[in-house]
Amino acid sequence: MSVNRPRIVRSVRLPQPVEDRIASAFDAPPVPETPLSTDEVFRLAAERKAEGLLVTHHAAIRGADVARIPDSVRIVATVSVGLDHLDVKAILDRGIAVTNTPDVLTDCNADLAMMLIIAAARRVKAYTEIMRNGWGHTLAMDELLGVRVSGKTLGIIGMGRIGQAVAKRAKGFDMKVLYHNRRRLDPQDEHGATWFADLRDMLPHCQILSLHLPGNPESASLINAETLALLPKGAVFVNAARGVLVDEDALIAALDSGHLFGAGLDVCRNEPNPDPRLLAEPNVFMTPHVGSATIETRTAMGMLALDNVLARVENRPLLTPVTA
């Protein structure tokens, strides 16, 4: 253990350039083979008197966990933009700084949302299945048809950085974009999208609906039987935000009844063990919570988390502080 290097514990293996930097400039336990639990992170942190914890949503620090953060810890740097796995106020109240990794992942998350929209609308799951089985028969002109994406009306719930990036991309598909957000954005941030103060007024117009808001007790099950029923028949639903936003029973019922054409989901409630009914839905295209999973973005996230740890131990201003 070096006395000069900042002592950190990371809950998960990070991209190689980040691991290389950790090896050369930080004092850290060996690279975790599998994501560590909160208990394992705390045990290592106590053992090594760690100053910084790098965690993701696999290692939640909530409720009674907060009191168990070892006293040596001065910063919890989550390698995510989402904060739902952290009890931020309680951690800050202990005098421990909290940082996240906004901005660097905006574009990749928005790219993934567009991919989910297209995948669900264009039946990528069914086509992939056909190709996996060797193709072998010519599809009839009316067989397994998708729905057109270009020119559709897209509703975005949550017009933060990622929602805005999706709106920008949707313009390239000649979509009409609507959004619901607590407050109306400045016109330059709207990217031509139309604000709806009331979600219920927006939903009947959304041929495609995409969620880009944080998951928390207030937003839990925002998408439920009632809100889904307001969507037009044949709508496509996309969630690249948080699973808790959706009542999955209601989502499955809306798919089974044909009210929804399909769904694209990067997140679900019981990660990493999705409801098997969702996996079995013929037109639910799912990815395993990989909104930020590109070489460039995950590297930038890891580097930003390390920069925040360094700033904290050197008593400099944090780059991306989280406030309560």
Nearest residue to ligand DGY by CB is 82
Interface size with ligand DGY, residues (CB under 6 A): 8
Nearer to ligand DGY, 283 or 297 (CB): 297
Nearer to ligand DGY, 105 or 121 (CB): 105
Shortest Cβ distance from residue 314 to ligand DGY (Å)?
25
Q: Which of 291, 300, 302, 320 binds ligand DGY (CB under 6 A)?
A: 291
Shortest Cβ distance from residue 143 to ligand DGY (Å)?
36
- Mark the segment that binds ligand DGY (CB under 6 A) among 80-88, 166-174, 203-211, 247-255: 80-88
Q: Which of 9, 36, 44, 81 binds ligand DGY (CB under 6 A)?
A: 81
Nearer to ligand DGY, 59 or 278 (CB): 59
Shortest Cβ distance from residue 43 to ligand DGY (Å)?
23
Mask for 31-70, x = binds ligand DGY (CB under 6 A)? -------------------------xx-------------
Phi, psi of 150, rounded to the nearest 5 degrees: -55, 140
List the catalytic residues: 242, 271, 289
Give the count of beta carbons closer than 10 Å to the beta carbon of residue 253. Answer: 15
180 binds ligand DGY (CB under 6 A): no
Shortest Cβ distance from residue 53 to ligand DGY (Å)?
15
Q: Which of 105, 112, 149, 206 binds ligand DGY (CB under 6 A)?
A: 105
82 binds ligand DGY (CB under 6 A): yes
Interface residues with ligand DGY (CB under 6 A) are 56-57, 80-82, 105, 291-292
